[in-house]
Amino acid sequence: MTIFKKNSINYTTSLALSLIGSEAFKLGSSIFIYKFTGNLWLVTLLYLFIQLPSILVYIFSSKIVQRIKNNKLVLLLSDLTSVILLIPSLVIFFFTDNKSILSLILIICSSILGFINAFRFVFLKNIVYFITNNNEELKTINIANSFATSFGFLLSAILSFFLFKNIQFYWLVVMNMISYLISGILYFTLKVNKVATNFQNNDQSKKIITKRSVWKSWIFILSGSLIIGIFLYPRTSGLSQFFSNINSFKIDTWGFYLSIIFTTFSLLGVIASFIAKKYIKNQILFILIITIIMGILNFVWLLFASSNENDYFISYVIITSIQQFLFSIFISIFYTLSFQLFDNKGFHKQNGLSIVFRIIVTSILTVFFTILTTKLSYLYSFILYSIIVVVSCLGIALTIYDWKQIKTKRFYNNLKILEEYKKVTNRGLSKSEVAAIDNVIKSVLEINNILDIGCGTGRVAIALKNLFPTAQIDAIDISKKLLSAAPENKNINFQLANILEYSEKSKYDLIIFSSNGLSNITSKFDVKNLFKKIRILLKDKKSRFIFTIHNIFATDEEKNFWINKIKIYELKTFSNKKIQDYEIHGLKNKNRFYSHEDMIKIFNKYKFKINNSFKTKTKIEENWLLELSSPCIFYDISKAN
């Protein structure tokens, strides 16, 4: 058995055990409080006090993990501390029968345990960086995490029901103490790496998502975090509120039944997620579909709002069960994405802030839901809950995809565009391209590795292979159709890839981005990342990056448009006014345009120097090239230092 498999088993088992005890105690406490006091506000306070004290831990989580290096020891001490903290709640049951006092003790004890659980949660996340080595293991451990969570919830519901019905409540406390003790020991047996794995750079081909603009990353994280926080409402504080509106079903029996049903469907969702991992190729599309269904499904229950109590109850159970099933599929993928969007240090910052956001928002909502239920009915709380789920799902849907890139891909996968590229596949290099390459050759640069970005059907790559027969050439494009039309050549490695997501393992002597391909990258964030990526991919200071941009002053008409109408010299480098629509064969696309001054600013910012720069000459340039690409400016740059 490999170290990773052993770690997975120990990690999953310990997580499940600690959850079995803690969730049974939490669920039993909430039902105990509501059954013997009939006070929804006390149940709400229980769940609020479990969460609120942990805010301080999450705010400083990134600093905490930097200061404390021994993850295993923290997990062990957290569990041992939890055992000690449970002793007062155990002892008090032998000294009083006053249900109000017992309820108060349970709330206080749960609040302190919530604080300790926050430490446990932070280091449970952090230790993942030290027990996994690549993105595949990350996906596996996150599914195992979801399985342990769902399995723990299920067994806790079953055990709490059995203990609540058959023996004294304090046995729940004893069970919780035992589960913490065993899980702490198991955490301490984990075999950890000395260095944290960086999932942003590791195994790029296996990544589901790539780093994107800061605001998109945060909207994605906060939307997902809110879904995680609020989706448990129907089976936590919402459970008591639901039963307060019906008479035929009693919470002390059916509350446990519903918890068991909901957690069973959660567990089935994890199993489905594990199976789907092998067969779902486009996981971003998969999670998008899951998110859309989650957003819509709650409103189906509203169709049964005016039905009889039995139908009202059954429809609620069915809808919520399906939602818990979908939620389990969603959460394992979401956690994997959140690890991939941030490095170890950045992850704990976003994790801490997103959890603080989740706690504050869900706490406010929990109070508001309780007010709505007590003043009106649970139906109104559920409607608001459903609206918030929809808004959160929209946040996920709008940020999980790079919609601009999808539009560009659709443009270049069109058959009319394909035909244009096929016509020039064997034309070789244009006169301007030859001039640019000749200048590189004259620099006595030894070219062994070449990267052709936006290779299309292979025109430039094939010509370069003829010029440099011993060189290794990688040719990439985002269009599957253009690549499929490229001639087979065992000496050229054609790949379907986006330069922004391209592996940084290879280093190149020459990188070419022809036919004004840079203009297709319209996002300011992506353009910046492109030049950062080029710096990494260039082998050394002698290595060259040749690319072209539109010559926006090629004609008097264009010159007048950019200077007098757009006023390009008054705009910032990445002004959106420099993004213009264009149409070919009835197909619309967008390009970003630059002045020479813009390029100088970009080169200076990312530490490049210009080796050669010239404009194409319309009179001597081939007609076929002018049809494929408008008049342009060539840049030959290299790393300045």
Summarize pLDDT for 520-560 with one digit per residue, the tens: 888 888 899 899 999 999 999 999 999 999 999 988 899 99
- In which band, very low, low, confident or very high, does the pLDDT at 209 lie, cut at 50, 70 and 90? very low
Residue ranges of the chain assigned to CATH 1.20.1250.20: 1-196, 209-401
Lowest mean pLDDT among 294-308, 328-342, 374-388, 413-427: 328-342
**What pLDDT, on the 0 to 100 scale, is given for residue 341?**
64
- In which band, very low, low, confident or very high, does the pLDDT at 308 lie, cut at 50, 70 and 90? confident
Three-class SS of residue 606? coil
Contact 263, 159 (CB under 8 A): no
Lowest mean pLDDT among 277-286, 302-311, 324-333, 387-396: 277-286
**What pLDDT, on the 0 to 100 scale, is given for residue 229?**
83
Q: Residue 203: is its pLDDT beyond 50? A: no
Q: Residue 41: is its pLDDT beyond 80? A: no
Cα–Cα distance, 32 to 42 (Å, whole number): 11
Q: Specify the higher pLDDT residue, 35 or 510.
A: 510
**What pLDDT, on the 0 to 100 scale, is given for residue 565?**
93
Q: Residue 312: is its pLDDT beyond 70? A: yes
Q: Residue 340: is its pLDDT beyond 80? A: no
Q: Residue 30: is its pLDDT beyond 80? A: no
CB burial class (10 A; 0-12, 13-18, 19+) of residue 274? middle
Instruction: Choose the most confident range, by mean pLDDT, from 299-308, 335-344, 368-377.
Output: 368-377
- In which band, very low, low, confident or very high, does the pLDDT at 204 lie, cut at 50, 70 and 90? very low
- CATH topology for the 209-401 domain: Growth Hormone; Chain: A; (1.20.1250)
Q: What angle do CA 564, 570, 575 make, to 5 degrees?
A: 105
Q: Residue 194: is its pLDDT beyond 90? A: no
Q: Residue 288: is its pLDDT beyond 50? A: yes
Tokens of 528: 């910046």
- In which band, very low, low, confident or very high, does the pLDDT at 346 lie, cut at 50, 70 and 90? low
β-pair partners for 511 = 451, 545
Cα–Cα distance, 98 to 92 (Å, whole number): 10
**What pLDDT, on the 0 to 100 scale, is given for residue 511?**
96
**What pLDDT, on the 0 to 100 scale, is given for residue 629?**
65
Q: Which top CATH class is 1-196?
A: mainly alpha
pLDDT in tens, 491-500: 899 998 888 8
What number is the average pLDDT over the span 302-330? Answer: 85
Q: Specify the higher pLDDT residue, 333 or 433.
A: 433
**What pLDDT, on the 0 to 100 scale, is given for residue 625?**
58
Q: What is the mean pLDDT of the chain?
A: 80
Q: Residue 212: is its pLDDT beyond 80? A: no
What number is the average pLDDT over the span 469-480? Answer: 92
Cα–Cα distance, 584 to 593 (Å, whole number): 17
**What pLDDT, on the 0 to 100 scale, is given for residue 207?**
42
Q: Residue 301: is its pLDDT beyond 60? A: yes
Cα–Cα distance, 349 to 190 (Å, whole number): 25
**What pLDDT, on the 0 to 100 scale, is given for residue 143?**
73
User: Model-level pTM greater than 0.85?
Assistant: no
pLDDT in tens, 240-284: 788 877 778 777 678 778 888 888 888 888 788 777 766 776 667
**What pLDDT, on the 0 to 100 scale, is given for residue 433?**
87
Three-class SS of residue 473? strand
Tokens of 329: 């599929």
DSSP single-letter state for residue 69: -
Three-class SS of residue 607? coil
What number is the average pLDDT over the span 116-125? Answer: 79
Residue ranges of the chain assigned to CATH 3.40.50.150: 411-639
Contact 537, 570 (CB under 8 A): no
pLDDT in tens, 506-516: 899 999 998 88
**What pLDDT, on the 0 to 100 scale, is given for residue 185?**
87
Contacts for 268 with CB less than 8 Å, ≥ 6 apart: 325, 328
* Of residues 283, 280, 520, 265, the one with CA closest to residue 412: 520
- Name the maximum alpha-carbon separation found in the chain: 100
**What pLDDT, on the 0 to 100 scale, is given for residue 628?**
59
> Nearest 5°: phi and psi at 511?
-125, 130
| Residue with the two structure tokens 């805010």 | 55
Beta-strand relationship, 544-550 and 632-639: antiparallel
Region of residue 456 (left: phi > 0; alpha: psi -120 to 50; beta: else): left
β-pair partners for 634 = 548, 614
Q: Specify the higher pLDDT residue, 635 or 327.
A: 635
Q: Specify the higher pLDDT residue, 195 or 506.
A: 506
- CATH topology for the 411-639 domain: Rossmann fold (3.40.50)
**What pLDDT, on the 0 to 100 scale, is given for residue 267?**
83
Q: Residue 379: is its pLDDT beyond 80? A: yes
Contact 239, 263 (CB under 8 A): no
- In which band, very low, low, confident or very high, does the pLDDT at 205 lie, cut at 50, 70 and 90? very low
Q: Residue 25: is its pLDDT beyond 60? A: yes
- In which band, very low, low, confident or very high, does the pLDDT at 202 lie, cut at 50, 70 and 90? very low
CB burial class (10 A; 0-12, 13-18, 19+) of residue 469? exposed
- In which band, very low, low, confident or very high, does the pLDDT at 455 lie, cut at 50, 70 and 90? very high
Q: Residue 317: is its pLDDT beyond 70? A: yes
What number is the average pLDDT over the span 620-632? Answer: 62
Tokens of 370: 């309780």
